[in-house]
Amino acid sequence: MNIAVLVKQVPSTDNVKIDENTGTMIRSELESEMNPLDMYAVEEAVRIKERSSNTKITVISMGPLSAEYAIKEAISMGCDEGVLLTDRKYAGADTLATAYTLTQFLKGKELDLIFAGERATDGETGQVGPMVATLLEIPVLTYVNKIIEITKDDITVQRAIEGGNEIIRTTLPVLITVVKEINEPRLPNLENKLRAKKSKIDIITNEDLKVEEDKIGLKGSPTRVVKVFYPKISRQGEKIAVKTPQEAVAKINDFIKEKGVIS
């Protein structure tokens, strides 16, 4: 069985800034990590590999060269190899341009399962996984919280829906986005950490993919941020000094009476 896991490198800090001219996130000089929700996708792929023979897991990401760290983190959890799609021409891609670029790499590959996290913590859209499936013209199962059975032809899963769960079966290949209730990601052991450190990540540029430039990066992104602003929090208040708790209570009572909260 051939499995691919789509992962993303995201900022590991809340100190995120937006370029006011392009409307894109400024990712330089930020500490980064694998998208936390992608770890559940990686873990589920590794668990399938542990239960079946002749299974290979390829981790795929699109981003800057520093995204190798996220790929190697996935390898340290038990994946076999990694591929990074990286090119200056991919910069500024929205979800559609990202999905299209990933699809150009994935098409023609003999894959049985493609895993992805429910969403990325930096964009919170949850769109890339389903878009990839649509462009590849394969089934997609979202919000999966349990894999019940896998055969050589189909897969049965449980997915979360409003008010409960549903059981659904579909044929392979299929793309699955998972929620964090599906498992508990493992901590890498020393052996896999050393293996990941030595792993050579395949670097794929647009010279390799030869994707039309009007379909990638900022040029290929129909989503446009038309205005960026940072909210300003300002409060007007009155500071009252009191000497005793009784005086404080009296001041509070006077204030809420003045506002008509109590009579």
Instruction: Using 70 as the pLDDT threshold, list the residues of the chain that sit under it.
Output: 13-31
Residue 243 falls inside a structural domain: no
Residue 229 falls inside a structural domain: no
* Measured distance CA(126)–CA(177) in Å, rounded: 9
- Tens-place pLDDT, residues 111-149: 999 999 999 888 789 999 999 999 999 999 999 999 999
Domain of residue 136, residue span: 2-215
Residue 227 falls inside a structural domain: no
Write phi, then psi, for 115 (nearest 5 degrees).
Answer: -105, 150
* Measured distance CA(112)–CA(175) in Å, rounded: 9
CATH number of the structural domain spanning residue 199 = 3.40.50.620
Residue 22 falls inside a structural domain: yes
Q: How many CB atoms lie within 10 A of CB 32?
A: 19
Residue 81 falls inside a structural domain: yes
Residue 248 falls inside a structural domain: no
Residue 251 falls inside a structural domain: no
pLDDT for 138: 97
pLDDT for 29: 53
* Angle made by CA atoms 162, 168, 174, in degrees to the nearest 5: 110
pLDDT for 92: 87
Distance of CA 171 to CAs 129, 153, 155, Å?
A: 17, 6, 6
Residue 121 falls inside a structural domain: yes
Q: How many domains does the chain have?
A: 1
- Cis before 173 (ω within 30): yes
Look up the pTM and report it.
Answer: 0.79
